[in-house]
Amino acid sequence: MLAKNYSRSIQQMTYTKNIDPLAIAETIANGFDQYRDIFQTITMSAKQHFENRHWSAAQKDSSRRLAIYAEYRDGVVQEIVGLTKNQSFSHETWIQIKAEYREFINARHLAELYETFFNSVHREITNDGPVDDKEMFVTSEFPSPPVTDARQIINQYVSDSMALSLATILEDLNFEQPWDNLDRDIEKVIAALTENWVEANKQGDFEILILKSIFYRNKGAYVVGQIKKRSANTHQDAWPFVLPILINNEGRLYIDTLISHEDDLSIVFSFTRTYFMVHTDYPYEVVDFLQILLPRKTRSDLYASLGLHKHGKTVFYRDFLDHLDRTSDKFIIAPGIRGMVMTVFTLPSLQTVFKVIKDEFPPQKDITTEQVKNKYHVVKRHDRVGRMADTQEFENLVFPRDRFSKDLEDELLRVAPSSVEISSDKVLIKHLYTERLMTPLNLYIETADEAELREALDEYGNAIKQLAAANIFPGDMLLKNFGITRHRRVVFYDYDEISYLTDINFRAIPHPRTPEEEFSADTWYTVDKMDVFPEEFRHFLFGKKEIKQLFTQMHGELFDPEYWQKLQDHIVRGQVMDVFPYRRAKRFSPQYIAIDPR
């Protein structure tokens, strides 16, 4: 990673008028081009990793692709510092640079991504100074691509035979590995499809639209498209058509299931999952198509799902400003038990929470502000396995003061005064995270009926197990640190105590050697910082006896240190867990699933 050693130079610049706006604009545009080339190269490696079952290499590339954005942004800033010889940028200079930059990108298909990269460079050079639409692309000047050259992103399949169409689709994927039993898989897809659409076998009354780009993540390759009646007049006559493809130990391909409902596809594209590795030269059009399949997903979410998380953040911010213009409700303290490290607020009309690190933590929280930030960075880079919420990090975010409740304003000034500046009409928060709003699990189970309670507790245990298998130990596993989504999935969202599972020393509580030790009010055995005693979980995770008993029936192994030690051994030996963004009951043939955990 390029050393970030230029901030002091920027701060000490003295203004002259000898800055060349054209040269600066060209430097930023070239920097984006270089970044984009590397981004695409890394993304294209996903197919090879999948076909060779190089799962660890795929995970490393996924993490690497996230890191390169900051590297190339920082490299551009260093180059600009050299070009300007420590001269500062006036407001007028930035206006000129933006105008020149706009000329560079006004005939480029990825203009919206160029805008985001420009904004990132501007924010870095100005040390996250005031957001100014005259200096930056706060409002996009290219809400759609400025060029309209041929850019076919979809293959269309129309045939009198569903089986023939499916065979052609799968052949066009051009995988180098053979299929395990293609006829069997096609039969299962047709059978699953006719369960939802009895006319699936009707001759010649359908078409299938398939994105040319394959979506890779974890151990799966996803063929994404839409099936609809050729005579379709309404949305009810069209469905998502998504085929997750896996590869077994013999290197043979098979279709694991069919996804043909919006809700099921929404989970595949969830904010709790790692970004896809999907190669495309036309992300705007891909997002357009995905929004047809997922109308309740925002463009911000969908850009992020393609690995374009920085542009997803840009779109989120623009949507946020638009939302403030359209609404009048006030920001309030988020419902639930207040945390010891973060203060959290929300806007009732917006499905987002804003998390600010407190200035001081209680003694039991042996952690610093920088360590908290590092924990959030770990989550951003790590495989979230559908169990950790994605976040966006903002610095110097300005809110209208008249939208803040008095209670929230008082709370921020009380617990995070170093992060907050309040003027007559604005609230500036120097650092915060945004995250999807969820119902805290402890609140959900208070009103859940018996069936909902059983399902939530089972989900809670599965979330802990899947995080652990992905080498994440949540640390603070209290119910208040987990949320439940509209799909009733349980998701972890409080990251200040997470650790890699392999860094934890899971121990059994020693047996007392004397009566004095047995009845001692204090811990009589030594406990190191990374020691964890799973037997203690049953005592502090649940307040109600009946809930504790129910959870023990479902997931009692979580109270056994040997369970955790075995997971650690699997991780150390390089095994990568299977992660399926759909219910196991939906899978076609679990007996065929034999994936080499390399």
Hey, is 533 helix, strand or coil? coil
For 255, phi then psi, to 5°, come to -90, 125
Asked if residues 225 and 174 have their Cβ atoms less than 8 Å apart, the reply is no
300: enclosing H helix or E strand: helix 299-305
Asked if residues 506 and 532 have their Cβ atoms less than 8 Å apart, the reply is yes
Q: CA separation (Å) from 337 to 355, 443, 452? A: 14, 9, 21
Q: CA separation (Å) from 119 to 228, 311, 410, 433, 557? A: 40, 10, 32, 19, 49
* Token output for 87: 């001269």
Question: In sequence order, which residues have a C-beta less than 8 Å from that of residue 34 and are 6 or more positions away?
Answer: 72
Q: Tokens 């985001």 correspond to what residue? A: 116
Asked if residues 241 and 170 have their Cβ atoms less than 8 Å apart, the reply is no
Asked if residues 432 and 355 have their Cβ atoms less than 8 Å apart, the reply is yes
Asked if residues 103 and 140 have their Cβ atoms less than 8 Å apart, the reply is no
Considering Cα of 529, then 534, then 536, then 538, what sign does the dihedral take?
A: positive
Considering Cα of 37, then 41, then 42, then 44, what sign does the dihedral take?
A: positive
Round the CA-based radius of gyration of the chain to a whole number and report it.
26
Query: 390 catalytic, yes or no?
Result: yes
DSSP-derived secondary structure letter, 402: G
Distance separating alpha carbons of residues 360 and 369, to the nearest angstrom = 9
Distance separating alpha carbons of residues 530 and 528, to the nearest angstrom = 6
Catalytic residue among 256, 390, 494, 496, which? 390
Distance separating alpha carbons of residues 394 and 432, to the nearest angstrom = 5
* Token output for 69: 């954005």
Kindly tell me the burial class for residue 160, based on how many C-beta atoms sit within 10 Å of its own C-beta (0-12, 13-18, 19 or more): exposed
Question: In sequence order, which residues have a C-beta less than 8 Å from that of residue 277 and are 6 or more positions away?
Answer: 42, 43, 45, 46, 58, 61, 62, 65, 215, 216, 217, 307
Convert 41-95 into a string of H (helix), E (strand) and C (coil).
HHHHHHHHHHHHCCHHHHHHHHHHHHHHHHHHHHHHHHHHHHHHCCECCCHHHHH
Asked if residues 248 and 595 have their Cβ atoms less than 8 Å apart, the reply is yes
Distance separating alpha carbons of residues 58 and 431, to the nearest angstrom = 32
Q: CB 390: neighbour CB atoms within 10 A?
A: 22
Hey, is 142 helix, strand or coil? coil
Asked if residues 286 and 306 have their Cβ atoms less than 8 Å apart, the reply is yes
Catalytic residue positions, numbered? 390
